Amino acid sequence: MSRIGGLGHRLYAGEVSYDFVGRRRRWYAISAVIVLVAIAALFTRQLNLGIEFRGGADFSLPNATCSVEEARTVGEASTGAQVIVTETASGTIRVQTETLTPAESSVVAGQLAEACGIPKEEVKVQVVGPTWGEEISKKALQGLIVFLLLVTVFLSLYFEWRMAAAALVALAHDLVITVGIYALTGLEVTPATVIGLLTILGYSLYDTVVVFDKVKENTRGIAGQSVMTYGEAANLAMNQTLVRSINTSVVALLPVLAIIVVGAGFLGAGTLLDLAVALAIGMAAGTYSSIFIATPFLVQLKERQPDMKSLQARVLARRKQSQGTSAPAADAGDETEGDKGATKRPTSGATGSLTRTDSSTRQQPRRQARSKRKG
């Protein structure tokens, strides 16, 4: 812990620094590969929508003695269509079918109960129409649009529109990756998943705003000096908030992982799994984007401004001048035997100031010997 604290202090003081901004093309390339894989999974595998979105009937068989394959065979024979059968950690078998009438649902429940060795009364039947899923999707989309509009207005007023644009790019990055992983792994998308996706929006923005607030502090009045460029000041802000971002992410991920392992793994709570997986993926992606995407993209936007271009030119010119004037200082002490007594050339130090020369030494006339003086 002391080493982490010492590293955090050195990062904050600028003694240790990692060039996140200068290596932005590397981060862009990594994110581009991940995003392309996610988009390809969305088009090829598509999302595994839960019954709440596509509609249908759900049969839960607790303490079932049949296997998943046996339940699938009975379900497909009863409905005449393909069914989805899963088994939870608690041993409950779930059979999801297309939309059925109450009479058809009763028949299927009886056949499943008989095949799995449980009373028909213990079979829990839930029939969901497709309109309910459409309503959930519509409300979720409306909430997302309102949220993004409010966030854009807030960030534009508190920071500036370039920071708002960078934050939204990082946010879209996180959402695409999270949804793509769901499509790639075949995890079921349920209303709890939608809640998790909406939750990670706030977390991703929180981490980004923390970094941007430090960037704003470091770059206040930066155009009036010629020591540091905007990109360097932003990179310093990222290093100063790096340890905090990592610690916040770890602390936030620990309870989410506990939900996945304990709640879903041991207790068999499927709703908790749907929510926790979305949160875990989104938090990890949000931490990555706030460090490697949001701030580098912001710097890229800022460097297009004329005043930032002028600042960068001044900083580079000053550093070049400083390097050029400090080089002759190494020759100041070089003096050959024949140069003794001659006037030294003025030299400049690192600060550009001229040293004092021997030409300013006062020349005294020679005095005659006492014997040659006239009486």
Percent of the chain residues past pLDDT 90, beyond the cut: 23
Whether the per-residue pLDDT at 288 is higher than 70: the answer is yes
pLDDT in tens, 194-228: 888 888 888 788 888 889 999 999 999 898 888 89
**Mean pLDDT for all residues in the chain:** 79
For the segment 228-284, what is each residue's pLDDT rounded down to a tens digit? 999 999 999 998 888 888 888 888 888 888 877 776 555 555 567 777 888 888 888
pLDDT at 298: 94
Tell me the pLDDT tens digit for each residue of 103-150.
888 888 888 888 888 888 888 888 877 677 778 778 878 888 888 899
Residue 54 Cα distances to 50, 94, 131, 136, 329, angstroms: 7, 16, 9, 11, 78
Instruction: Give the amino acid at 224.
Output: G
Buried b or exposed e, range 57-91, using 16+ CB within 10 angstroms = bbbbbeebebeeebbbebbeebbeeebbbeebeee
pLDDT in tens, 3-15: 555 665 666 565 6
- Tell me the domains of the chain and their CATH numbers: 20-44+132-312 (1.20.1640.10), 56-128 (3.30.70.3400)
Q: Say what the pLDDT of residue 339 is.
A: 42
| Most confident region among 86-90, 291-295, 364-368 by mean pLDDT | 291-295
